[in-house]
Amino acid sequence: MSTKRRTGMLAGLLALSVVSAACGASGSSEASSSTTKVDTTVAAKATTTTKSVEKLSGKINISGSSTVEPITQRVKELFNETQKAVEITVAGPGTGDGFKLFCKGETDISNGSRPIKVEEADLCKAAGIDFVELKVGYDGMAIVTSPKNTAVTCLSTTDLYALVGPESEGLKTWAAAQSLATELGSTTKLPDVALSITGPGAESGTYDSFIELAITPTATKRVTAGKLEKGKEKTIRKDYNPSADDNVIIKNVEGTATSLGWVGFAFAQEMGSKIRNIKVDAGKGCIEATPATISDGTYPLSRALYVYVNKKKLADSAALKGFVGYYLAEGYGAVKEVGYVALPAAELAKTVAVWQAARG
């Protein structure tokens, strides 16, 4: 799955800011009409690079988000071009599963397509594991359907709640969600056709982020109104097709004419004409997922991407310190290369500052 993602080059990302992989040169980031220039000193401060550290050795174990996995995998490949003696493994079982390993001390880095939860951080604390959180880029969740489904071009977040939320259990057609959607204030006309939903499973950060951004705001109001049982604010219907593999989600969406699903934006873009993206309206009109709308936050289902680093292992491993520093400097071009949205210069500078404080 990671290899397929890495080969996708998104034309829409060409204007986004990136530190070049070879020399740390400046780039630019366009969001709407504004342009933000990347200061080359941001990357220069990030690390003692592989140019100044001749040889590193050791092992680095990385797990977590399947969304962030392609970025980290590409950074690994670039890093190993000059640091061949560092053995790095990168796995993508999902953000939640990755944090379980991380908080047991079994991994050095945990990729996250959402911030670590309080209960997960508590597990780390209980195990004596201190960590540093580093934001590395942006992604959006694309709401997708089959290209054959021309009846739906935009869905409000209330439509998504009516179709996928905890009150939609058992609904077998799009139109069956119409009464709830209308009650919630939607003016969307849902087609009277079969509804087949495929999305990430509970082990995925994409699953958690979808619930947080698309479901919980409406669910919370329903609880307050006495329409939904308290405790179900962070749940969705159980009768959908869950998968940890984005390729399976795409296959199901593509193969069913009236499908509905959601995956990471970068992966959806790479699939091209196999699927069709649906715009999302959170009360400010229908917004298409693009690099610009994701980075500036106007697309309602945008999210930040992170890497978490075990501080003790960082202090004990020159290889780990070198790799993370490289990630934020020469290797940062991987974010754009594999199809994600790079941090604007000011945000990258903040990440680098956090990194500098952590690395000592």
Residues 165 and 67 in one domain: no
Tokens of 189: 């006309």
Residues 110 and 19 in one domain: yes
What is the signed CA dihedral for 263, 267, 272, 276, rounded to 10 degrees? Answer: 10
What pLDDT, in 10s, does the model give residues 267-303?
898 898 999 999 999 999 999 999 889 988 899 999 8
- What is the separation of C-alpha 195 from the centre of its chain, rounded to a whole number of angstroms? 26
- Measured from the Cβ of residue 121, the count of other Cβ atoms closer than 10 Å reads 17
Residues 259 and 211 in one domain: yes
Cβ atoms 98, 107 nearer than 8 A: yes
Residue for token pair 């109001």 = 221
Residues 238 and 172 in one domain: yes
Residues 287 and 189 in one domain: yes
Residues 43 and 147 in one domain: no
Domain of 324 in residue numbering reads as 2-138+304-359
Q: In angstroms, rounded to a whole number, what is the distance separating the alpha carbons of residues 33 and 292?
A: 9
Q: 119 Cβ partners below 8 Å, 6+ apart?
A: none
Cβ atoms 222, 286 nearer than 8 A: no
Cβ atoms 300, 282 nearer than 8 A: yes
The span from the first CA to the last CA of the chain, in angstroms, equals 36
Q: 182 Cβ partners below 8 Å, 6+ apart?
A: none
Residues 101 and 160 in one domain: no
What pLDDT, in 10s, does the model give residues 178-188?
999 999 999 99
Residues 164 and 292 in one domain: yes
- Measured from the Cβ of residue 39, the count of other Cβ atoms closer than 10 Å reads 15
Beta strand pairing status for 34-37 and 28-31?
antiparallel
Residues 118 and 215 in one domain: no
Collapsed DSSP state (helix, strand, coil) of residue 250: helix
Tens digit of pLDDT per residue, the chain (360 long)?
443 343 343 333 333 333 333 333 323 233 332 323 333 344 444 444 444 455 999 999 999 998 899 999 999 999 999 999 999 999 999 899 999 999 999 999 999 999 999 999 999 999 999 999 999 999 889 999 999 999 999 999 999 999 999 999 999 999 999 999 999 999 999 999 999 999 999 888 888 889 989 999 999 999 999 999 999 999 999 999 999 899 999 999 999 999 999 998 888 988 989 999 999 999 999 999 998 899 888 999 998 999 999 999 999 999 999 999 999 999 999 998 887 889 989 999 999 999 999 998
Domain termination site, one of 285, 302, 319: 302
Count: domains in the chain: 2
Residues 194 and 204 in one domain: yes
Beta strand pairing status for 241-243 and 259-264?
unpaired
Burial class (CB in 10 A: 0-12, 13-18, 19+), 184: buried
pLDDT at 53 (0 to 100): 53
pLDDT at 54 (0 to 100): 59
pLDDT at 33 (0 to 100): 29
Residues 66 and 185 in one domain: no
**Residue 156 backbone phi and psi in degrees, to 5:** -80, 165
* Average pLDDT for the chain: 86
Q: In angstroms, rounded to a whole number, what is the distance separating the alpha carbons of residues 112 and 102?
A: 11
Q: In angstroms, rounded to a whole number, what is the distance separating the alpha carbons of residues 136 and 129?
A: 21
CA angle, 278 then 338 then 24, to 5°: 130
Domain termination site, one of 281, 302, 323: 302
Tokens of 264: 């990471």
Q: In angstroms, rounded to a whole number, what is the distance separating the alpha carbons of residues 341 and 229?
A: 38
We report the CATH number of the domain holding residue 118 as 3.40.190.10
Q: 319 Cβ partners below 8 Å, 6+ apart?
A: 56, 57, 58, 59, 60, 83, 86
Residues 213 and 273 in one domain: yes
